[in-house]
Amino acid sequence: MFSFFENEQVKRVKNHIMNLGALAKVDGHIDPTELNYIIAIGQKNGMKPEEVKSLIANSGTGKQVLPDNDSERFDQIYDLVEMMLADGIVDDNEMEFCMDMAAKLGFRKAIVGVLVRKISIGVKDGLSREHIKNESQDFLSL
């Protein structure tokens, strides 16, 4: 009812949660590790677990609100890739979803596969988000 009055940042956070929910559902089920990851992102952004679960239940519906700067775009694709890795199983559909989302977020189609792999390897190697972001900046500006 009050969604008309939400500011753009709240809409972006909710959209990001819904994107994460859609990714979690790609393999046919939401793993508890994936659910906890999404809830943690929601809480980090001031949402209650119940709100996050409601958004996940409705993921795949509604109009997407995309980030308007490179840093937020990177953070969203980073979160998607990190969640893809959360259950320890990388399904081909999850990988394809991440690459599709990277393209929708505005990354050039020619580099989305490399970007998703670069983030995946960085996460697996235990590198910080900022380290991976800084390394990717050079790559993305080519």
10 Å Cβ neighbour count for 123? 18
CB 76 within 8 A of CB 67: yes
CB 41 within 8 A of CB 17: yes
pLDDT lower than 70: segments of the chain: 1-6, 60-65, 141-142
Helices (H), 1-142: 8-25, 32-44, 49-57, 70-86, 92-104, 112-124, 129-140
